[in-house]
Amino acid sequence: EVQLVESGGGLVQPGGSLRLSCAASGFTFSSFWMTWVRQAPGKGLEWVANVKQDGSVKYYADSVKGRFTISRDNAKNSLYLQMNSLRAEDTAVYSCVGGAAADYWGQGTLVTVSS
């Protein structure tokens, strides 16, 4: 069974940092691009970042470029998102997504940026 389990969310003050993790199982993690997607309360889906199978290529949404860093550890079947300089508008559920056709989604972890 495919599983993507995110962790690391929580309440953080504006300007603060968080590191999200996503543990993958049930599929060949190293074979796929991996993605972080977020969804603010009551809003639509927003793509955050992608990382290639070997970690050599990364893309970021303009809204997070320069503040967030996506990375992966294929030996640990894990995906990460380092989030710095957090803003109120970063408040959302962050989900990791994988598979050949964005087939696999985690349940997400809630990040709340508030003072």
9 near another protein, rule: CB under 8 A: no
Burial of 95 (0-12, 13-18, 19+ CB in 10 A): buried
Bridge partners of 60? Answer: 49
101 near another protein, rule: CB under 8 A: yes
CB atoms within 10 A of CB 32: 20
106 near another protein, rule: CB under 8 A: yes
53 near another protein, rule: CB under 8 A: no
89 near another protein, rule: CB under 8 A: no
* Residues at the site binding another protein, with contacts judged by CB under 8 A: 35, 37, 44-47, 50, 57, 59-62, 95, 100-103, 105-108
